[in-house]
Structure 1
Amino acid sequence: MRRTMLTPMPRRRRSPLPAILILLLALIIGAAIWASTVDTEVPTQRIEQDVTNEALAK
């Protein structure tokens, strides 16, 4: 059978693996950028503690 302009060519199904890998890579890079910009610094607090020697106090 000869192929004419009106008969559609059968399409080969492409693997979704490259698209999934690119999407996964983009998500990992986005998560790394987001994690590097999040403010995680804890404010400092002043802690006062009595450090006198109990043995000398008696």
Structure 2
Amino acid sequence: MSKFEVAKEILLKNSNVQLTDVGYQSGYYDQAHFAKEFKKMSGQNAKYFGPLCPI
């Protein structure tokens, strides 16, 4: 499973998680790399993905 897929799973399962922790738990070196790759792969910022998305 790719780092991106791991990050997606974490975000979908946990609505009360900090994005920095998601990045590190999924294997990214730092928050900037996680944020950049997540946006590139999903087309949206991680903070607006899944349950973190304000309705």
Rg (Cα) greater in structure: 1
| TM-score scaled by length of structure 1 | 0.24
> Greater relative contact order (Cα 8 A, min sep 6): structure 1 or 2?
2
| TM-score scaled by length of structure 2 | 0.25
